[in-house]
């Protein structure tokens, strides 16, 4: 029996299995040489078992350990359902992907097989491949011109762009996509954009993907005329180890109530677990890999994620949608968000937008293309490790919050370690867009371009943190608006170690020195810094520590331990 369902009050009852196992999506290959149909299947490509077609409210779905189930588990609108692995031979797996067989050599190291659908993702074993693209790595972006929102000028090496996708950067912090409608004489005509997407700027970084002529490197794939083409990373036949996935989810728990998913593995889904508009969705001890969009998407109320491992999500690891409330993410590891394959739009490893009531604690967020952890209102972010964020996009934070409505956030950021961020305008902690009512305390911010940024923020407390190895500045106060937005912040009891040449403070303002004087109060801090370039202040320039104390009337109880200068980018 592939699975069982336990119903409340009715004892154990078996579900009728599907008439046959899920069919491979392959069609017979024809007219090509080098067929590998007789090759033994790879151990990483197990036979797929069917998922239950109907799940009753109040039931428990038991999946057998070590087995792989094909399709999407439909829990939409269900309540009081538990999904769990039974047995001790490893997590049961769910995937909408299908194995692809009957490969034939196309040319060189490129193989092809018939496929009835256009895939959203393709993998060899557990490694997701890149859709074929131009330009080729190590170059990621080509540079073109856009004279209006509907066109891009660039002389392509091949005119076949029908159905291709343009991926472009309207800003350093954003990646957008548009379908290509036409190409002629060096001018790309773009299809309609989705929603409020940004248009290409006049000078635009871009790449295009999705055409067979772009398939020219190991680890890429393309789909054309009902056939899947790929070049495996090792150059060998894909037989027995290739997967193709449609744009389908692993588990659909949208509109559900009191659903628990415990000890399950999901791979190659568009969204691993979709909990849109759900209440009390609990995801425990589960693993989600290679999601084409989000590992977990949730809205509604009462999300709990504990002891989860989420890796290589193309866009977001955990995405709490607008309006979600009372969410908890604990003891989980989120790795490689937005960094697997070619860059796409990503909001972060753990993301809650326009949300209220988040507790994000004791997690590891590793190697994210953009933000590590993003929260909004009434949130606690405590004892997390963020190691490697802002690896692709900038204007970014390891931990990020914002308050565009200027209302108090009531956010506490405590006991976290944020290190090894990339990009010039990446800060370990980023209080953006009028953030106020935030307490930042007892964090370690090490080896980042910047330690912390306050952008138009007010009424925040920054206390008892340790800043070290900031390449440009430990704290940036960035006043970009009229009316004196930055004010009444307190910076006290912190330790600053300047061992990479960055200054301690930058106080930027579109106005003058008097505005910068109102940014906050600084005292009881310990500084280890070069005696000279201590702080850069709007309307003044660079100040040494004595000038900072005298002219800004700050840090009268603070101390400075003078260090010799170290070239930027070096460590002592």
Mean pLDDT, residues 507-524 taken together: 88
Q: Please, is 28 exposed, middle or buried when counting C-beta atoms within 10 Å of its C-beta (0-12, 13-18, 19+)? A: exposed
Residue 420, Ramachandran bin (φ over 0: left; ψ between -120 and 50: alpha; else beta): left
pLDDT for 25 beyond 70: no
Residue found under tokens 């910076």: 491
Give per-residue pLDDT as tens, 398-444: 999 999 999 999 999 999 999 999 999 999 999 999 999 999 999 99
Q: How far apart are CA 85 and CA 83, in angstroms?
A: 7
Check residues 466 and 340 and name the one with the higher pLDDT.
466
CB atoms < 10 A from the CB of 488, how many?
A: 14
pLDDT for 239 beyond 60: yes
Using alpha carbons only, give the angle 170, 173, 176 rounded to the nearest 5 degrees. 45
pLDDT above 70 coverage of the chain, percent: 90
* Prior bond of 268 cis (ω within 30°): no
Q: What confidence tier does 138 reach under pLDDT thresholds 50, 70, 90?
A: confident
Q: Which residues contact 38 (CB under 8 A, 6 or more apart)?
A: none
Q: For residue 449, give the nearest of 175, 198, 172 by alpha carbon.
A: 172
CB 322 within 8 Å of CB 291:
no
Give per-residue pLDDT as tens, 66-100: 999 999 999 999 999 999 999 999 999 999 999 99
Do the bridges between strand 133-134 and strand 203-209 make them parallel or antiparallel, or are there none, so unpaired? antiparallel
Q: What confidence tier does 4 reach under pLDDT thresholds 50, 70, 90?
A: low
pLDDT for 570 beyond 60: no
Q: What's this model's pTM, rounded to 2 decimal places? A: 0.91
Contacts 24+ apart (CB under 8 A), 197-203: 198/170, 198/171, 198/174, 199/146, 199/149, 199/170, 200/144, 200/146, 200/149, 200/152, 200/168, 200/170, 200/176, 201/146, 201/170, 201/171, 202/145, 202/146, 202/147, 203/143, 203/144, 203/145, 203/146
CB atoms < 10 A from the CB of 439, how many?
A: 17
pLDDT for 565 beyond 70: no
Please give the span between the terminal C-alpha atoms of the chain, in angstroms, as a whole number: 63
Q: For residue 376, give the nearest of 419, 407, 339, 417 by alpha carbon.
A: 407
Both tokens assigned to 170: 């309207």
Give per-residue pLDDT as tens, 337-372: 999 899 999 999 999 999 999 999 999 999 999 999
pLDDT for 171 beyond 80: yes
**DSSP class of 487:** B
- Give Cα 214 to chain centroid, integer Å: 26
Kindly state the helix (H) or strand (E) to which residue 517 belongs, with its residue range: helix 513-517
pLDDT for 450 beyond 80: yes
């Amino acid at each position: 029996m592939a699975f069982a369902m336990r119903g409340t009050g009715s004892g154990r009852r078996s579900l009728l299995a599907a008439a046959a196992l899920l069919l491979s999506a392959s069609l017979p290959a024809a007219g090509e040489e080098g067929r590998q149909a007789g090759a033994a299947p790879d151990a990483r490509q197990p036979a797929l078992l069917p998922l239950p077609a109907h799940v009753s409210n109040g039931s428990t779905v038991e999946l057998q350990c070590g087995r792989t189930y094909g399709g999407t588990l439909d829990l939409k609108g269900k309540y009081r359902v538990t999904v769990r692995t039974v047995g001790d031979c490893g997590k049961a797996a769910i995937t909408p992907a299908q194995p692809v067989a009957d490969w034939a050599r196309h040319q060189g190291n490129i193989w092809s097989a018939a496929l009835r659908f256009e895939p959203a993702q393709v993998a060899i074993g557990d490694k997701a491949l890149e859709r074929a693209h131009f330009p080729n790595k190590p170059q990621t972006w080509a540079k073109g011109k856009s004279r209006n929102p509907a066109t891009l000028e660039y002389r392509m090496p091949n005119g076949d762009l029908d159905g291709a996708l343009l991926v472009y950067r309207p800003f350093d912090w954003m990646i957008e996509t548009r379908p290509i409608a036409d190409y002629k004489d060096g001018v790309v005509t773009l299809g309609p954009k989705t929603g409020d997407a940004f248009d290409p700027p006049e000078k635009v970084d871009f790449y295009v993907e999705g055409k067979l002529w772009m398939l020219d490197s190991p680890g890429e794939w393309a789909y054309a005329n009902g056939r899947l083409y790929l070049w495996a990373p090792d150059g060998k036949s894909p037989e027995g180890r290739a997967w193709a996935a449609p744009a389908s989810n692993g588990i659909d728990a949208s509109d559900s109530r009191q659903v628990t998913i415990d000890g399950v593995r999901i791979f190659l889904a568009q969204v691993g677990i979709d909990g849109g508009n759900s209440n009390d969705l609990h995801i425990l001890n589960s693993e989600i890999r290679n999601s084409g969009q989000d590992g977990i998407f949730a809205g509604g109320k009462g999300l709990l994620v504990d002891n989860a491992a989420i890796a290589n999500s193309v866009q977001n690891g955990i995405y709490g949608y607008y309006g979600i409330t009372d969410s908890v993410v604990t003891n989980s590891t989120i790795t490689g968000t937005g960094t697997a394959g070619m860059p796409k739009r990503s909001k972060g490893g753990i993301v809650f937008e326009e949300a209220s009531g988040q507790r994000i604690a004791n997690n590891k967020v590793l190697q994210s293309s953009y933000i590590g952890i993003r929260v909004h209102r009434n949130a606690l972010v405590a004892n997390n490790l963020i190691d490697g964020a802002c690896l692709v996009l900038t204007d970014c934070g390891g931990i990020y919050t914002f308050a565009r409505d200027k209302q108090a956030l009531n956010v506490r950021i405590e006991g976290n370690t944020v290190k090894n961020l990339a990009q010039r305008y990446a800060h370990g902690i980023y209080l953006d867009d009028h953030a106020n009512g935030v307490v930042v305390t007892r964090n370690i911010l090490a080896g980042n371009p910047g330690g912390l940024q306050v952008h138009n923020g007010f009424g925040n407390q920054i206390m008892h943190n340790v800043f070290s190895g900031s390449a440009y500045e430990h704290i940036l106060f960035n006043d970009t608006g009229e009316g004196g937005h930055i004010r009444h912040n307190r910076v006290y009891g912190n330790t600053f170690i300047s061992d990479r040449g960055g200054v301690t403070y930058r106080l930027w303002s579109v106005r003058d020195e008097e505005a910068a004087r109102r940014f906050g109060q600084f005292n009881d801090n310990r500084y280890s810094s070069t005696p000279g370039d201590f702080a850069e202040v709007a309307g003044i320039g660079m100040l040494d520590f004595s000038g900072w104390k005298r002219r800004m009337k700050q840090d009268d109880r603070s101390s400075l331990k003078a260090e010799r200068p170290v070239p930027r980018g070096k460590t002592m």
